[in-house]
Amino acid sequence: MKVLIAPNAFKGTLSAEEAGAIIASFCIDKYAGVHTQVVPIGDGGDGTCNLLSKFLNLEQVNAWTLDPIGRPMIGFFGFDKSSKKAYLDVSTASGIALIADSQKNPWITSTFGTGLLIKKAIGMGSKEIILGLGGSATVDLGLGILQALGFVFL
């Protein structure tokens, strides 16, 4: 028997790849002789741009940034040198999975760290940013992103 496993991310808990691995392991353990193929998918939310970057075999760029409550962390994005496009997920630096339940406070969480990753991509020559929305720890309307890019709000 052949089984195609195509999960999406489980918001704030498992990536699509992690979910696929767990499902495949269960199928293999439960059914003798089963052949599985895991093809993680994204719906535009958390993890979508990471999956696209892997599918397109893009360079992964790692960079220092800030998590939703301002702690330093290493973030990443996919970069296509030929088209000068960067692929990044808001959830990479501003994701709800990065903070504890006690830290979930829309008054203090921010997308600033995502803005820092975008700024890095622009500094590398990106002319287009593909941004996966979803899995965010904040409802700051993207104002943190804009602040990291130099906007000032009065």
pLDDT in tens, the chain (154 residues): 899 999 988 877 888 889 999 999 999 999 989 999 999 888 878 888 999 999 999 999 999 999 999 999 999 999 999 999 999 999 999 999 999 999 999 899 999 999 999 999 999 999 999 999 988 999 999 999 999 999 999 8
Q: What is the pTM of this model?
A: 0.86
Residue with tokens 């130099």: 150
CATH 1.10.1740.10 fits 43-154, yes or no: no
Q: Residue 85: in which H helix or E strand, if any?
A: strand 85-89
Q: What is the DSSP string of 88-144?
A: EEHHHHHBGGGS-GGG--TTT--SHHHHHHHHHHHHTT-SEEEEE---BS--STTHH
Handedness of CA 130, 136, 140, 143 (dihedral sign): negative
Closest listed residue to residue 130, CA positions, set 114, 110, 143, 109: 114
Q: Encode 62-84: b = buried (16+ Cβ within 10 Å), e = exposed.
A: ebebbbbbeeeeebbbbbbeeee
Q: What span, in angstroms and rounded, lies between the C-alpha atoms of 68 and 60?
A: 21
Query: Where do the structural domains in the chain lie, given as residue ranges?
Result: 1-41, 43-154
Residue owning tokens 């696929």: 20
φ and ψ of 46, to 5 deg? -55, 130
- pLDDT tens track for 18-50: 999 999 999 999 998 999 999 988 887 888 899
Tokens of 56: 């397109």
